[in-house]
Amino acid sequence: QSVRQGVGKTKITGRVLDNNGEPIIGASVLEYGTKNGTVTDIDGNYTLNVSKENATLSVSYIGFVPQQVKVSGGNSTIHLKEDAQNLNEVVVVGYGTMKKADLTGAVSSVNGTEIASRPVTDATQSLQGLVPGLLVSNDSSGRPGSSGTLTLRGQGNLSGTGHPYVLVDGIEMSLSDVNPNDIENISVLKDAAACAIYGARAAYGVILVTTKRGKEGKSRINYQGTVGWNSPTVLPKMLNSVDFARMWNDGCKNANSSRLYSDEKIKLLEQYINDPSSVNPWQELSSTASMNPAFENSESGIGNVDYFDLHYKDTSFKQRHNLSVSGGGKAAQYYTSAGYYKEDGLLRYANIDFERINVSTNLTSQLTPWLKLKAGLKFAHSVQNTPFGDGGLSDGFFHSLARFRPTVSVVDPNGHFTELSMIPYLQSGTYTKTKRDFINMTGGFEINPFKGFNVFMDYTYKIIGTHYSALNVAPMIYAADGVSTSKGVRQELGVTADGKFTRYNDNTHYQTINLYGTYNFSINQAHNTTVMAGYQEENNKYDYLRNVITGLYSTTNPNVGMGTGDKVVTDTRNSWATRSFFARVNYDYKSRYLLELNGRYDGSSRFAKDHRWGFFPSVSV
């Protein structure tokens, strides 16, 4: 729709959709012939102020045919058609590859070069804006090592846990364990027709990741390195101490409260802002007073503090380096890579960072004209340091940044940071450390006994181990005399007076066997058929052991066995196995009529007598 916005301006709103009616995120919408433009949001919506009512918009997005559309009231929804060249593109689908033109389901493809060029933490974040209908969100954005969550075509369920099923080279895996530089391409299967072959786990879509493999030819060495800086996108703008005091007084008068800043105090606050050295910010403090805390939630004290500016740095450094070697002859090809990523946190006084190492290698060997062997290894090791988390400081820290008054100095009379600044809590020795190791080993073969018929078999063993430790230490807060101290304990930060130590380990051991075959044949070059059938077996074992103890004997050498408080132990173990049969038939008549049938049976010991059947037919004309 269009709404007149005064002389010479018209506000146009609308949506940009693909040929399946899915919103396109990040599509470019420009007023034709100008630099006036915008991009669509997560729902494909756009808003643009144009120079005339019947404006022509130029709309474009990667993989779609650009369009120029004249927009008037009620004609603001724009459908982009997929580029015809993309229809001949071969994309990865469930257990194989197919041309887009031969698919009945909705499938989007992303090339690995688009992902590798983005300086982000992991491959999850790099998908932002590349796939219509795919939303990447990150509730922990800004914290080093935080990964995003993916949702396809909306939330999926009421609890917000409906995330796509991610497979890397056919193996269930987290995208955060994949080096973005190792990715060859990503296929996103969006609807039931495309996802049915994977059964119930594909209820919210499927993301198929194919990693790079060696190619015949001379050895190629490739290095890619990036360095950069993070900065806070938006921080709240806080009042200075004088404006705060005046607005506080207005609120008190409206509430008939007598808790007012005096005119004399406001003049001192103004003087402090102009020349901090000319005013004693602690002139109301007794020389023997405790400063634990000092002047919190009171009209005493003189200062001018922006807590966001105090705690947040303007920038934090990050770097990423990747080195790969590939090549081989006709008989065998190889690919090996190593990646390093390091990201510092934005908090000025906290020890907060994330570091990850990735190693990947694979080998393909054509032993005979009909037999090919494959082997691969993926390894990732990461360490995350932060004072926040289970057993450390709580997120109440961030709540307090906007809660404390700016009228109290954060440096005491002796030059120490005050308890109210919260800096002592960040420097007390409280920490959380997460070490995570991931290893994935795969071996298999491919048999081609005659033209059109291929048999694939692979075996994978995967280990994921996480070691977590957290130490909670109350800081010592100096009194006004600069000598005596007392422990700082602030409930909203989750600080324990006598110390607490938390440690847990969880381990996952997973193995799977895949065996499937495909047969392609054509009758009179008009009836083209592909038949696929296979078997999968999975076994998973998981164990979790958590120990927590309070009242530590020592905070310099903490131990879960040494403390005066209660010791809490949690021990969890479980295992499951599945055996699945699956099949698909694709029929194409002269590229005009498509028929696809998908079916899967899952028999699982995850729940007692758990049997799941799925069958999905789809037709495209």
pLDDT on residue 133: 79
Assess whether pLDDT exceeds 80 at residue 5. Answer: no
CATH architecture of 316-620: Beta Barrel (2.40)
Q: Report DSSP state, residue 312.
A: B
* 76-82 average pLDDT score: 81
Assess whether pLDDT exceeds 50 at residue 607. Answer: no
Residue 263's region, left for phi above 0, alpha for psi from -120 to 50, else beta, is alpha
Q: With bands split at pLDDT 50, 70 and 90, how would you rate the model's confidence at 467?
A: very high
CB 51 within 8 A of CB 9: yes
Q: With bands split at pLDDT 50, 70 and 90, how would you rate the model's confidence at 591?
A: low
Residue 26: both structure tokens together: 């990040």
pLDDT on residue 105: 59
Regarding predicted confidence, which is higher, 328 or 64? 328
Mean pLDDT: which of 20-29, 187-196, 379-388, 590-599 is highest? 379-388
Residue 63: both structure tokens together: 């993989």
Q: With bands split at pLDDT 50, 70 and 90, how would you rate the model's confidence at 205?
A: confident
* 361-367 average pLDDT score: 95
Give the length of the chain. Answer: 621
Percent of all residues in the chain with a pLDDT value above 90, rounded to a whole number? 52
Residue 55: both structure tokens together: 């404006």
pLDDT on residue 104: 54
pLDDT on residue 85: 53
Q: Name the amino acid, one letter, at 160.
A: G
How, if at all, do strands 206-211 and 165-168 pair?
parallel
Q: Report DSSP state, residue 247.
A: H
Q: With bands split at pLDDT 50, 70 and 90, how would you rate the model's confidence at 44?
A: confident
Regarding predicted confidence, which is higher, 244 or 157? 244
Assess whether pLDDT exceeds 70 at residue 73. Answer: no
pLDDT on residue 66: 86
Sign of the alpha-carbon torsion through 450, 451, 453, 459: positive
Sequence spans of domains, the chain: 2-82, 316-620
pLDDT on residue 500: 95
H-helix or E-strand spanning residue 248: helix 241-254
pLDDT on residue 516: 94
Percent of all residues in the chain with a pLDDT value above 70, rounded to a whole number? 90
Q: What mean pLDDT, rounded, does the chain reach? A: 87
Regarding predicted confidence, which is higher, 62 or 230? 230
Q: What is the DSSP string of 388-429?
A: BSTTSB-THHHHHHTTS-TTS-SB-TTSPBPGGGSHHHHSSS
Assess whether pLDDT exceeds 60 at residue 7. Answer: no
Assess whether pLDDT exceeds 50 at residue 203. Answer: yes
What are 150-178's pLDDT values in tens digits?
888 776 677 767 788 898 998 888 888 88
What is the three-class DSSP state of 122?
A: coil
Measured at the CA of 16, the angle between CA 12 and CA 18, to 5 degrees, comes to 165
Spelled out in words, what is the top-level CATH class assigned to the domain 2-82?
mainly beta
Contacts of 429 (CB under 8 A, 6+ apart): 471, 473, 555, 556
What are 509-558's pLDDT values in tens digits?
999 999 999 998 888 878 888 899 999 999 999 999 999 999 999 988 89
Q: What is the DSSP string of 501-534?
A: EEEEEEEEEEEEEEEEEEEEEEETTTEEEEEEEE
CB 124 within 8 A of CB 209: no
Assess whether pLDDT exceeds 70 at residue 1. Answer: no
Q: Indicate the range of 48-52, 448-452, 564-568 predicted with least confidence.
A: 48-52
Q: With bands split at pLDDT 50, 70 and 90, how would you rate the model's confidence at 619?
A: low
CB 145 within 8 A of CB 174: no
What are 408-450's pLDDT values in tens digits?
999 999 999 999 999 999 999 999 999 999 999 999 999 999 9
Regarding predicted confidence, which is higher, 2 or 188? 188
Residue 280: both structure tokens together: 């004693």
Q: Indicate the range of 6-15, 291-300, 450-459 predicted with least confidence.
A: 6-15
Q: With bands split at pLDDT 50, 70 and 90, how would you rate the model's confidence at 6?
A: very low
Nearest to 567 by CA among 544, 546, 548: 548
Measured at the CA of 156, the angle between CA 155 and CA 158, to 5 degrees, comes to 80
